[in-house]
Amino acid sequence: MTRSVLFVFGTRPEAIKMAPVIERVRDHDGLRAVVAVTAQHREMLDQVLELFGIVPDFDLDLMRDRQLPEEVLARAVTALSALIRDTQPDIVLVQGDTTTTLAGALAGFYAHVPVGHLEAGLRTGNLASPFPEEANRRLVSQLAALSFAPTRHAADRLLAEGADPASVIVTGNTVVDAVTEVATRAATLPPELAALVSGERRLAVVTLHRRESWGEPLEQACLGVRDVLDAVSDLVVVLPVHRNPVVSEVVERVLGDHERAVLTDPLGYLEFVQLLKACTIVLSDSGGLQEEAAALGKPLLLLRETTERPEGAEAGTLKLVGTDRSAIARETQALLSDADAYRAMSEAPNPFGDGRASERIVAAIEEFLA
Ligand code: UD1
Ligand code: UDP
């Protein structure tokens, strides 16, 4: 009997991390992949769907300009609940900690369909940071029948919170599967980026978007990046600007006129991974980039006050720097001028997975549905 697996996601990072699992379910004789996207993100989601050849079976097309999480949640949970009741999947899979993740888990719960949670067990211990993701992932853990923990540490967090040990499976993070596969593909970069990759200067990839940093922390982080550029004359920054206008207004105002800051639209994942491979250093507040940088051996300075991925800090692949302007300038310059410290970070072992997470997840789903 063929069992149906409903994938629910809506943003760029969820799509990247779901893609290897969708591919594996598609190749599985006994399982059928059904894809429902909320399109909490529109353009940034579509870039990923196209790269991985995913055509959604259902597209809720929910994104609105400057949307609030509560609005997205209300619309997504209503539409997804109806969709799950109509389609009666055997399991609903959600990924990570976005509003779509919470909506998908709630909708599965209301429709009495078991929920599987990818990237379960990440915690900062601080409900306000990242906001609202720390709450989302804790709530989803309460609803999940299966929790796919990327690391032993994440699994231990779940067990300490009282999760049933039989429901927690350590799998690795699927982003390692995605990034290692995409890193082997050939890509043609637009000329302005190709010149940077093959150029004389060192390249820093920078991304910023977190809600808890909006306002002064984001402004300070951008000023810190500007100070780094002023202090390190052979450095060029590439910063693909998040589509969120609250973010882009600040980034463009503070960095837009610097001759060695290249601000671009969000890049396709294929192009972005090429830049990551070519860069010297990553400065970011992203979740997924903490894992990808580790997988590619690129030191990452984390422009946030907390991380739910302490494995990276412990292994030495990332360093928590915060959003203070002078700390960003100081830490970046220190790393760029200390060959031993740089080598230690770039050669630190990747604690986030071995590229076989999707294989383990699909095996566990198969066993659960049997
Ligand atoms: C959301 C997730 C966050 C994730 C991030 C990835 C929540 C609460 N937050 O951030 O965990 O790290 O996505 O990027 O779910 N926009 C576009 N086109 C796009 C995408 C966004 O125009 O393709 C603009 C829209 O104006 C939209 C705004 O960006 O309203 C914010 O999108 P939203 O999904 O709400 O972003 P965040 O909540 O900041
Ligand atoms: N990414 C991308 N193009 C870009 C910038 C980032 O494809 O221009 C990828 C990046 O490699 C990572 C993901 O998008 O896999 C991170 O998304 P984001 O920072 O929006 O979300 P987070 O990981 O913080 O949830």
Confidence band, pLDDT 50/70/90 cuts, at residue 51: very high
Is the same domain home to 121 and 24? yes
In terms of DSSP bridges, do strands 235-240 and 300-302 run parallel, antiparallel, or are they unpaired?
unpaired
Question: What range does the domain containing 231 cover?
Answer: 191-346
Query: Tokens 């969709």 belong to which residue?
Result: 83
Calpha distance 186→165 (Å, rounded): 42
Query: In this prediction, what percent of the chain has a pLDDT beyond 90?
Result: 96
Determine if ligand 2 sits within 6 Å of the CB of residue 266.
Answer: yes
Query: For residue range 309-333, what is the model confidence (pLDDT) as tens digits?
Result: 999 999 999 999 999 999 999 999 9
Task: Examine residue 181 and state whether it is found in any structural domain, yes or no.
Answer: no
Query: For residue range 72-81, what is the model confidence (pLDDT) as tens digits?
Result: 999 999 999 9
Q: Say what the pLDDT of residue 199 is.
A: 75
Query: In this prediction, what percent of the chain has a pLDDT beyond 70?
Result: 100
Task: Examine residue 243 and state whether it is found in any structural domain, yes or no.
Answer: yes
- Ligand 1 atom nearest the C-alpha of 69 is 8
Calpha distance 60→333 (Å, rounded): 45
Task: Examine residue 200 and state whether it is found in any structural domain, yes or no.
Answer: yes
Determine if ligand 2 sits within 6 Å of the CB of residue 204.
Answer: no
Is the same domain home to 144 and 16? yes
Query: For residue range 163-215, what is the model confidence (pLDDT) as tens digits?
Result: 999 999 999 999 999 999 999 999 889 888 998 887 789 999 999 999 999 99
Calpha distance 286→217 (Å, rounded): 15
Q: DSSP letter for 212, please.
A: G
Largest interatomic CA distance in the chain: 63
Q: Quick one: CA dihedral 220, 226, 229, 231, positive or negative?
A: negative
Amino acid occupying residue 37: V
**CA-CA-CA-CA dihedral for 220, 222, 225, 229, to nearest 10:** -120
Task: Examine residue 141 and state whether it is found in any structural domain, yes or no.
Answer: yes
Mean pLDDT taken over the chain: 97
Calpha distance 53→351 (Å, rounded): 29
Is the same domain home to 297 and 167? no
Task: Name, in order, each residue with C-beta under 8 angstroms of 169's C-beta and a sequence gap of 6 or more.
Answer: 146, 147, 148, 149, 155, 360, 361, 364
Whole-Å CA distances, 70 to 103, 140, 142, 315: 10, 16, 19, 36
Q: Is 258 a catalytic residue?
A: no
Query: For residue range 272-292, what is the model confidence (pLDDT) as tens digits?
Result: 999 999 999 999 999 999 999
Query: Tokens 């009282």 belong to which residue?
Result: 162
Instruction: List all residues whose CB is within 6 A of at least one atom of ligand 1.
Output: 11-13, 40-44, 63-67, 69, 97-99, 132-133, 209, 211, 243-245, 287
Query: Tokens 């919470």 belong to which residue?
Result: 102
Is the same domain home to 294 and 364? no
- Ligand 2 atom nearest the C-alpha of 17 is 15
Is the same domain home to 65 and 213? no
Which position among 41, 117, 157, 209 bears the catalytic label?
A: 209
Nearest protein CA to atom 13 of ligand 2, as residue:
13
Task: Examine residue 109 and state whether it is found in any structural domain, yes or no.
Answer: yes
- Ligand 1 atom nearest the C-alpha of 66 is 30
Which position among 14, 23, 133, 308 bears the catalytic label?
A: 133
Is the same domain home to 235 and 133? no
358, 17 contact by CB (below 8 A): no
Query: For residue range 95-154, what is the model confidence (pLDDT) as tens digits?
Result: 999 999 999 999 999 999 999 999 999 999 999 999 999 999 999 999 999 999 999 999
Residue 299 pLDDT more than 80? yes
Is the same domain home to 207 and 335? yes
Is the same domain home to 104 and 15? yes
Is the same domain home to 108 and 220? no
Q: Say what the pLDDT of residue 280 is.
A: 97
Residue 28 pLDDT more than 90? yes
Is the same domain home to 164 and 210? no
Which ligand has an atom closest to residue 288 CA? 2
Calpha distance 353→172 (Å, rounded): 4
Distance of CA 22 to the CA centre of its chain: 17
Calpha distance 158→46 (Å, rounded): 33
Separation of CA 67 and ligand 1 centre (Å): 8
| Lookup: tokens for 97 | 């900690």
Is the same domain home to 140 and 229? no
Q: Say what the pLDDT of residue 200 is.
A: 85
Q: What strand order describes the sheet that includes 3-9?
A: 58-59, 31-37, 3-9, 91-95, 115-118, 146-149, 168-170
Is the same domain home to 251 and 314? yes
Task: Examine residue 205 and state whether it is found in any structural domain, yes or no.
Answer: yes
Task: Examine residue 248 and state whether it is found in any structural domain, yes or no.
Answer: yes
Separation of CA 101 and ligand 1 centre (Å): 13
Q: Ligand 1 test: best mutation among 71, 77, 244, most atoms within 8 Å of CB?
A: 244
CATH of the domain at 297: 3.40.50.2000
Q: Is 117 a catalytic residue?
A: no
Task: Examine residue 273 and state whether it is found in any structural domain, yes or no.
Answer: yes
Q: How many domains does the chain fold into?
A: 2
Q: Say what the pLDDT of residue 196 is.
A: 85
